[in-house]
Amino acid sequence: MLLKGASILVECLKEQKVDTVFGYPGGAVLEIYDELYKHQSEIRHILTCHEQGAAHAADGYARATGKTGVCIATSGPGATNLVTGIATAYMDSVPMVAITGNVAVSLLGKDSFQEVDIAGVTMPITKHNFIVKRVEDLADTIRRAFQIAQSDRPGPVLVDIPKDVTIKKAEYERQEPASISPMTEYISESALDEAVKMIRSARQPFLYVGGGAVISGANQEIVRFSEKLKIPVGSSLMGLGGFPGDHPNFTGMIGMHGTKVSNVCVTHCDLLIVAGARFSDRVVSNVSTFAKHAKILHLDVDAAEVDKNVMTAHHVIGDLNATFKALNERLQDFTIDNGGWLRAVQENKKKYPLRIVEDGRLHADYILRSIYEIAGDDAILTTEVGQHQMWTALYYPVRKPRTLITSGGLGTMGYGFGAAMGAQLGRPDKRVFNIAGDGSFRMNLNELATAVHYQIPMIQVVMNNQTLGMVRQWQTLFYEQRYSQTNLDDRGPDFMKLADAFGLPAFHVTTPEEVRPAIEAALRESGPVMIVCDVPKDDKVFPMVAPGASIEEVMLDED
């Protein structure tokens, strides 16, 4: 049938079973928004207060559901306002399709009103991007964008559509979405045999899981692998949930703010099995001392990550779930002789527990443990970036994949609120808590209006210490307490009055006794809620590894 470009776009979104898009209209996308109006019973559009909020919401929706998130913005500043959200998704391998409008094809490259070469701007932060100059190419481009976003290692794809392409007509014929198969063609018998040989010869193996464990859905096979071979398991920030956080074999996060147990395991293991992780500098710290006694076996879907940051002894390239299934089959009759190693790890867990402060004051660890005890597996946590993010990673036992959503690679302050909206809309069966510091929360608090308008029942928790806490921590430890531009105590806002202005209920928590009643009351609300928690300004995140130090040289609170 003969359809306008805007109609073709919406039909293609329906082909891909898109049920929710996030965006902000403007002149270059008016035709698209007119079509969305006609199809509002099939595709729900969430109007955010800012395009960055739309990108983060699409990201959170994707991470919580495993589907591809979609956001839309107009040309020029609308498109550039998506950039931080696209980069966030790129760094954490999140499937997203960002659709931007642009000036007419004849005006491209002429510095026209609200024109930006958004394809050029986003080239380094997208898995692929397109500018569609012919309406005849639009349908196939949209289909290809979704396939690229979801396949192999996922990531964001941008499709830039000039306005006249949305107006012109072309023939459209509906197609079923192409199936996305796990990447297994490079998982060779020889690669698996060598991996099995390394595992069989190890006496002190340690498994380090990254975000790929969550993305691939390999968590059950990884648990089977760990339990069968009695292998302790640590995680990157992005890997939390890829292995149950309350499992006896789990040692916690690795790296700069990793647990002492995990960091000691990496340093003293004789085989480090790395599953779906990229050896981030926040994990590795000093490369020359990282896993210095170990052979490294790298399992990953992306060959570009092998030997990029850390040299490995062997690798298997392919879908992690398929790789662990194959390894488990080959090792089903093997019993590893590492009981002494596992016992030593368990002893270290007792020797180096995370410190729980009980001095009568309100601290973040108590708030997070209370959320877990009350909401448990019915909750999804999103976070902003800073101390509260690390406290969440350390003290909240993430048991299931896709229940902790955070900006790991880019470290985007202001990410969490939009992500929480997207996650809550994508998973209405869960309650979403966004854990924020007051500094991060101030970055995108305008989206409170979005949550209230759509009555998104997310719970915003503000750890209010009246400072940019993580930066202050570094200033305390390494800059002789010169607190340059990190104090927020005289800058406001009054968060309780702010909640009232936006029209959502709020609870002000100042003592440990007030925490549980506030959480329970928030869970009874049918719309968005804010809980403002006053925590001490000089609470710090420990463990911590100083810059340039070995990850074994962990500073604990008593240090």
- C-alpha 376: how far from chain center: 19
Of 4, 163, 325, 430, which residue is the catalytic one?
163
CB-based contact 203:321 (threshold 8 Å): no
Q: Which of 1, 40, 42, 113 is catalytic?
A: 113
Whether 470 sits among the annotated catalytic residues: the reply is yes
- For the question of residue 52 being annotated catalytic, the response is no
CB 279 within 8 A of CB 409: no
**Per annotation, catalytic residue among 96, 238, 458, 470:** 470
User: Known catalytic residue: 163?
Assistant: yes
DSSP-derived secondary structure for 350-409 = HHSPPP---SSS--HHHHHHHHHHHHGGGEEEEE-SSHHHHHHHHHS---STTSEE---S
- What would the 3-class secondary structure string for 285-337 be? CCHHHCCCCCEEEEEECCHHHCCCCCCCCEEEECCHHHHHHHHHHHCCCCCCC
Is 463 catalytic? The answer is: no
113 catalytically annotated: yes
Helices 320-330, 189-201: crossing angle, 10 deg rounding: 60
Q: What H or E segment, with its residue span, contains residue 144?
A: helix 138-150
What residues have CB less than 8 Å from 522, skipping those under 6 apart? 459, 505, 507, 529, 531
CA dist 419 to 58, 150, 247, 265, Å? 7, 19, 27, 33
- Pairing, β 554-555 against β 544-545: antiparallel
Set 114, 169, 537, 553: catalytic member: 114
Please list the residues that pair with 160 across neighbouring strands. Answer: 100, 131
* Residue tagged active-site, from 31, 51, 221, 552: 51
Residues classed as catalytic: 51, 113-114, 163, 470
